Chains A and B, each alone.
Chain A
Amino acid sequence: MSGVYTIWKKEMRVYAVNPTAYAFLAVFLFLSGLFFYLGVTLTGEASLRVLSSNLAIAELFVLPMLTMRHFAEERRQGTLEMLLTSPISPFALVLGKWLASVTLCVLMFLGTAVLPAILAYYGEPDWGVVATTYLGLFLAACAFSAAGLFSSSLLDDQLAAGLVGVLLLLPFWLVGRAEALVGDDLAAKLQPFGVLTHLESFGRGVLDTADIYYFLAMSFAFLFLTTRSLESRRWR
């Protein structure tokens, strides 16, 4: 556990001095503010629902870019071999880096706290729904960060890792909107794999075990694959 904490601390320190992290954080807050403003002025409703689905898509693009440097950068600097031969297990290494990304996501969401405050000032939001909306976005962020880590573990080039991360996640977004591309029957079958399908209930104040499991399972699967990918360096 101390290994996880050491890695987490190191990554948080890197985030704190990394201008890219600030740039992406600012972009994320700008997008969330924009989606919120558009949603509120178009619907006049004291809810974060419009923001929720749009922000999930923003997360899909922003988070792989934030996590792209984790392993790609270590590899470029030649520190990955050192980390892998250190007493820290590959899984602890992955977990520490992932938790650092998740912590950054929490900070990003804290930065959007002004949005529910605006709702509370001009109306009466349903706080239960606001809480579940944030929970949904948080769980999605956990899954997307894990996918970003996985792509970062595959490639040496940071930017390529970021792009692969986005490409990896795009199908999870597109299958939720598959009716435009394939027939209704196939679209209905694909829908359970879509990220937006699973965010829908959170936006209405409903906690569904299947939705929670979906995001947790996605996080776990990508973390597992990242660990396997790092371990493969031992025999490749």
Chain B
Amino acid sequence: MAVNQARRRFAAGSNALLVSVLGVAAVCVGYLLVDMQRVRVDLSADQGSVLMADTRTKLSLMDRDGKPVVVTAFTGQRGKKDSYFKDRALRDLLDELDYASQVVEVRFVDFDRERLTAEKLGVTEYSTVVVQRGEARVDIKDRELFKRVGKGDDRRLEFLGEVAVNRAFSQLTAENHRVVYALVGHGELDPESHDLGGLSDAVSILGQDDYELKRLDFVRQRDMPVPRVPDDAAAVAVLRPKVPIPPLEEDLLLAYLAGGGSVLFAVDPDSPVPSLLGRLGVTVPSGRVLDKMLVFPYPDRPVPRYKSHPITKDLSEDSLVTVVSSAAPVQPASPPMEGVRASTVLETSRDGWIDRGGEVRNGQGLYEPEIDGQGPATMAVALEVSRDSGLVKKGTSRVLVVGDSDVFTNGLLAEGPGNASFVLNSFRWLVGDEDRISVVGRPQATRRLAFSVEDTEQIRWLAIGLGPLLIVVLGAGVWASRRGR
């Protein structure tokens, strides 16, 4: 009897143990499977908690390559204002890189405690990031990772770390270093200016793909016996000349195009239009583009619609708006010129039009059919010019005409959610790096609390005292009522 009972208990016990072990094992296997097919959704307001598509694209290219990359980040100076934010931002970035790539190894080093590591890497400053790939390395300094923006109470710290690390990846992996020339000498936008109308941020964004923006001044070109676009030019940008480009210089650009080169033209409603555009079949009619769909509260900022084109494909998928300001209409020839394939990149909605003055109501121009041009109005057009056109002698040339130069400036790059991607993708398309086209992220900002020393007292009592006090009172009430029964 006792033997039977023991046998039964043993059978039931081992069965229960087996089922328990199998149950827990199934849960663990489930975790491994879910871990392999992770889905991550970023619900933060600035969508800055996961890596931008651009960085992910680069990481996957590096993963495919298989060569290890080590990213070492050093802590900020302890006790300094913002050191907490700096360390946290860097740590978050490293976590995301670690998660997203198999070849990237990340290290977060305490600069004060692990001096040996710092000395071994030759790092002498706090909040430095060192990105190494084989023998090559790129050092990213604090000033490239963090930027103070705004004034007075609005002054805040922005984290540009992902953009900087992304750029370092490009520099380390790329055999992709390309030089883009910006034509100067006719009052064009200044690549070195940090003003709202300058191009310094665009230069920085282009650096993400290891594109270097150099000045091209035909008049002062001393290193060449005959002026011409340098041989290493991947593209030339003509960004809103204030005075007409002399015919001789336009011929030099045409010669460059004839050799299969790529050119970006940015014009404004009041800027002179290069005559070269006419030869490519693109006209810039008078007036400026307006739309009933506006970027509030600016009456001169129509919300552009993305047409099907590689430059705007990802922007369209992510619903990111590229902000244009006071744009000029650009019109490709209809029917198109032989050998020129024109594709609209940006245009207004059906409610858009080309405004040529007339009545204004509440600061907003009105469509008047007698004087205005009917919409939708095109604001950017991409051309692929083949030999059949008679203009190109070698390969296919690419030309992008944008009816607004502000898109490329520091001012709108900071404002428009899609502007950085539009700018970088425009150059990627021009130089033939379509496989790199994706969405570029924006800096992450700190969300600061504004409170005085007196407020901290209030916060302390509200946070620590109020809740427990209420519970104690409630508990005492319940206890008293039960005692009274």
Contacts and interface: CB of A to CB of B under 8 A. Distances in A.
Interface string B1-41: 00000001100110010011001100110110011011111
A45 B43 contact: no
A30 B467 contact: yes
Contact of B27 (A124, A221, A228): A221
B175 interface: no
Contacts of B28: 217
B466 interface: yes
B465 A131 contact: no
B131 to A, nearest CB: 19
Contact of A232 (B16, B34, B449, B479): B16
B362 interface: no
Given A129-B44, A206-B40, A29 B49 contact: no
A30 B39 CA distance: 36
A47 B464 CA distance: 17
A80 interface: no
Contacts of B475: 19, 22-23, 25-26
B471 A37 contact: no
Query: In the complex, which of the residues A32, A34, A206 has the most CB atoms of chain B within 10 Å of its own CB atom?
Result: A206
A46 B447 CA distance: 5
B50 interface: yes
Interface string A222-236: 001100100110111
Contact of A214 (B9, B31, B446): B31
A171 interface: no
Contacts of B85: 43, 45
Contacts of A200: 95
Given A41-B456, A45-B85, A228 B35 contact: no
Contact of A37 (B12, B464, B482): B464
A3 interface: no
B335 interface: no
B52 to A, nearest CB: 14
A118 B446 contact: no
Nearest to A41: B456
Interface string A38-51: 00111111110100
A208 B38 contact: yes
Query: In the complex, which of the residues A29, A34, A114, A129 has the most CB atoms of chain B within 10 Å of its own CB atom?
Result: A29
A201 B13 contact: no
Overall SS of chain A's interface: helix
A220 interface: yes
A126 B447 contact: yes
A209 interface: yes
B122 interface: no
Contacts of B30: 213, 217
Contacts of A23: 475
A205 B48 CA distance: 9
A201 B40 contact: yes
Given A46-B449, A114-B466, A225-B20, A206 B43 contact: yes
Interface string B422-461: 0000000000000000000000001111110001100110
Contacts of B27: 217, 220-221
A26 B84 contact: no
A29 B468 contact: yes
A171 B19 CA distance: 24
A183 to B, nearest CB: 14
A186 interface: no
A33 B474 contact: no
A131 B475 CA distance: 29
Given A40-B459, A228-B20, A45 B448 contact: yes
Given A22-B475, A131-B43, A224-B20, A45 B464 contact: no
B44 A37 contact: no
B34 A25 contact: no
Contacts of B39: 208-209
A114 B462 contact: yes
B226 interface: no
B463 interface: yes
A31 B49 CA distance: 28
Contact of A33 (B44, B92, B463): B463
A228 B463 contact: no
Contact of B472 (A22, A192, A201, A221): A22
B44 A45 contact: no
A210 interface: yes
A122 B23 CA distance: 48
B25 to A, nearest CB: 10
Nearest to A47: B447
A131 B44 CA distance: 10
A224 B21 CA distance: 11
Contact of A122 (B35, B450, B482): B450
A89 interface: no
B61 interface: no
A225 to B, nearest CB: 6
A215 B466 CA distance: 31
A161 to B, nearest CB: 19
A95 to B, nearest CB: 16
Contact of B463 (A22, A37, A213): A37
Interface string A163-185: 00000000000000000000000
Contacts of A127: 45
A207 interface: yes
B40 A126 contact: no
A27 B467 CA distance: 10
5 contacts: A37-B463, A45-B446, A45-B447, A206-B41, A232-B12
Closest 6 CB pairs of A and B: A22-B475, A205-B44, A29-B467, A128-B43, A235-B12, A33-B464
Interface of B: 8-9, 12-13, 16, 19-20, 23-24, 27-28, 30-31, 34-35, 37-46, 49-50, 84-85, 88, 92, 95, 446-451, 455-456, 459-460, 462-468, 470-472, 474-475, 478-479, 482
Given A126-B46, A236-B9, 7 more contacts: A26-B472, A37-B463, A40-B459, A122-B459, A123-B450, A225-B24, A236-B13
